[in-house]
Structure 1
């Protein structure tokens, strides 16, 4: 989510056609650079971030924001 959010915000000011993005997790620092990827079967496959990915992310983001502000949906803590 974080990588897509940064990519989405960046694309609003600097449109791009395709980009590779990822994170370096301090929690799992030994893993090094972790690229954005999708789960396929039992493993993850690196995925480029393009207009289609950002459009899908925008739809999900808007649904999440609408849900957060929906007075009919009560916020509940999820078990950890």
Structure 2
């Protein structure tokens, strides 16, 4: 889970520019859905319910997107 989280942080650091955080958060939500689905494939019996998965995410939270580079501030330095 630590390696997975680091990969997601790297993705956020690369793609989180101005006006793109909404798309990155949608990507994060999709990753959370796929993680839930993947963890339930460990056996034929469903091992995670939605409640247990929320507890799992409380222990290992996925990072939220924050603006790393504001492109509008970069233009101010050029003028």
Tell me whether the two structures share a fold, i.e. TM-score over 0.5. no
Higher RCO structure, 1 or 2 (CA under 8 Å, sep 6+): 2
Structure 1 length as normaliser, TM-score?
A: 0.31
Q: Give the structure with the larger strand fraction.
A: 1
Larger relative helix fraction: 2
TM-score with structure 2 length normalisation?
0.32
